[in-house]
Amino acid sequence: MTGSPSVLFDRLGPRGRHRTRIITAVVGAALLALAAFIGVRLQQSGQLEARHWSPLFNPFDPQFATVWRFLLGGLGNTASAGAVSIVLGLVIGTAIALLRVTALPCYRWCIVGVTEFFRTVPVVISIFFASRALPVIGVDLPLLWYLVIGLTIYNSVAISEIVRAGIHAVPRGQTEAALALGLSRGGALRSIVLPQAFRIMLPSLIAQLVIVVKDTALGFIIGFEELRRRGEIAVQTLGNPLQMYLLIGAIFFVVNGLLSWLARATEARVRGAGRAARRSSAPRRAGSRV
């Protein structure tokens, strides 16, 4: 940021740079003091003792393998709940978006109303009620599926908005050209508009996956053993909630950080591919004899 002008600050001069150095020193000192304070607090309350950290971080600890196998199992559960939810959400979300795009105006209000309704329901509530209401009407499922259903309800609505934005981002001329070539409305949507829309919305979909993975942590409401719940169970024997939740947070940070990075990389690629396509299509159009 230093040196590059923003809307608020011009490029810094010598005085500005001097001030920046002073602020950096002061803030750095304050952060060090804070770290030292936390360190002393940890020391005083006995949280730095090896027995709190070693089962999580020391590979030679006898409990290390068991704890990590347990936690990675939880991460696996988190991943499968997230994966199933995003796939189901994608299918249902696309269906909702298509219904909304193609429906007659009188039905469209109905779809908008339903999606707006489900947007206001907290995800925790939908998971909780999926696990309570479905057995009442005679649907008994493994816990994973209650979590998946609860997550899918919210995510299909969120994804339908992404899909709708993606469909609107495809230039109108594409549909018009497809119709002019004799494709039906459905055919144009299926083989011309949707493939392009999916490419445009891929980054947003991966970003939505991050949200889904975060929301799987709500599985504790129904006792599903995702990563965070497994951590909570392990704490009951290890007695180190502080260290455990730090570790769980770090695992989520790494996994979701990788997904976010993937989303950004895809976005750059999609944008780059779009530019390349435009570049290469220009000369082709000029010399086209077809």
Partner 1 sequence: MSVIIDNLPLFGEGMLRTLSICLWGGLGALVLGSLLAVCSVTPVPILNRIGTGWVATMRNVPLAVVLFFFAFGLPEIGVRGSYFWFGTSALAVYTAAFVCEALRSGINAVPIGQAEAARALGVGFGTTLSQILLPQAFRAAVPPLANTTIAMIKDSALVGAIGVGGDLFSVADTLAATRGLDVIPVLAGVVIGYLLIIAPTSALFSLAVRKAVLR
Which residues contribute to the site for partner 1 (CB under 8 A)? 1-2, 5-10, 12, 16, 20, 23-24, 27-28, 31, 38, 41-42, 44-45, 47, 117, 120-125, 128-129, 132-133, 136, 210, 214-218, 220-221, 228, 232, 235, 240-242, 244-246, 248-249, 252-253, 255-257, 260
Closest CB to partner 1 among residues 170, 212: 212
CB of 41 to partner 1, least distance (A): 5
Closest CB to partner 1 among residues 133, 177: 133
Closest CB to partner 1 among residues 179, 221: 221
**Which residue type is seen at 267?**
E
Which SS3 state, helix, strand or coil, does residue 3 take? coil
The neighbour count for residue 207, using CB atoms within 10 Å, is 18
Closest CB to partner 1 among residues 167, 226: 226
CB of 226 to partner 1, least distance (A): 9
CB of 274 to partner 1, least distance (A): 23
Closest CB to partner 1 among residues 64, 129: 129
CB of 174 to partner 1, least distance (A): 29
CB of 170 to partner 1, least distance (A): 24
